[in-house]
Amino acid sequence: MEPYRVWLSEVMLQQTTVATVIPRFERFLARWPTIEALAAAPDEEVLSEWAGLGYYARARNLIACARTVAARGSFPRTARELRELPGLGAYTSAAVAAIAFGEHAAAVDTNVARVVARLHALRRPAPGAIDRLVFDMIPPGRAGDFTQAMMDLGATICRPRNPRCAACPLAPDCLAFASGEPAAYPEPKVRAVRPHRFGIAYWIEQCGSVWLVRRPPRGVFGGMAALPGPEWTEQAEASVNALGTVRHVFTHFSLDLAIVPRADPEGEGWWQPLDGLADAGLPTLYRRAADLALTARSAA
């Protein structure tokens, strides 16, 4: 398969469902059909197109990786070399190497790890154990087909809850299925308590436009369009005349963002016409905040 498409799809599918990714993947390819085209695109355009997919560090790494590959002339062909590219960890580099270049590489994501843990009835797999087992399972010369089949098996049949064992081709050899409690493997990880933060976003509207700013290049929503506001804190601040609050859950913390109207612009930014707000590339958090502000304005 064409490595650009494999790489782009794998990056998009990190922490994002297939149903969400498919239309966005097609839009990306229509707009930037080659990695050279993506590498030449302005950061703001790529970040705007990524809006709504979440985990925005992926978008920044996507830009950096595209430019690195375009500069060298092609993708590396091995998992070891691919892992040196921005944003490619052990799984993504192995997946691209296996699917695009046929390398005998073990691509182990959460779904694949669950399939193999159940196949061998491993409640708490030792570090590296799953990778070794997957590597030994790969049929010679069929690394790409095997990798995609295992991904699909874990996503659609060997599900975390209510696995569809009757439809699983591995059921006759699956020790977890033989135990009668396949969903008990592997044991779920204990989740740490997610901290909570508080923030304020200013709604500054004049003459049919709203004032937007660009987030700092590093950190949450790095480089993305946003409503202006101070840094988020661990203590709630009094929000006078707040239009409402949006709650958003990130990977490592949750946030209550109060939407507060102001009269004058805050920070360096631009006036975005309200009838073109959908084209601003706002992340989901700020898109919901804008929707709240517009609803509150209509109800006033």
What single-letter DSSP state applies at residue 125?
P
What is the amino acid identity at position 228? P
Backbone angles phi, psi at 188, to 5 degrees: -65, 145
Over the chain (300 residues), the average pLDDT of each successive run of 10 is 94 89 95 97 93 87 96 96 95 96 96 96 94 96 96 94 96 96 91 91 95 90 92 83 92 93 90 94 94 86
Neighbours of 273 (CB within 10 A): 12
Evaluate whether 69 touches 75 at the Cβ level (below 8 Å): yes
The whole-angstrom distance between residue 38's C-alpha and the CA centroid of its chain comes to 18
| Alpha carbons 208 and 231: distance in angstroms, whole number | 27
**Would the pTM count as exceeding 0.85?**
no
**196 SS3 class:** strand
At 271 the pLDDT is 97
Q: Read off the pLDDT of residues 48-95 as tens digits, 9 standing for 90 and up.
A: 999 888 888 899 999 999 999 999 999 999 999 999 999 999 999 999
10 classed as catalytic = yes
Evaluate whether 161 touches 151 at the Cβ level (below 8 Å): no
Long-range CB contacts (within 8 A, 24+) of 170-173: 170/115, 170/119, 173/119
Q: Is the dihedral of CA 77, 78, 79, 80 positive or negative?
A: negative
**197 SS3 class:** strand
The structural domains of the chain, ordered by start, are 3-184 (1.10.340.30), 196-299 (3.90.79.10)
At 300 the pLDDT is 63
- Catalytically annotated residue among 2, 10, 26, 45: 10
At 95 the pLDDT is 96
At 111 the pLDDT is 93
For the chain, state the CA radius of gyration: 23
Evaluate whether 274 touches 208 at the Cβ level (below 8 Å): yes
Burial of 168 (0-12, 13-18, 19+ CB in 10 A): buried
Q: What percent of the chain has pLDDT over 70?
A: 99
- Distance set, CA 35 to CA 129, 251, 295 (Å): 35, 29, 40
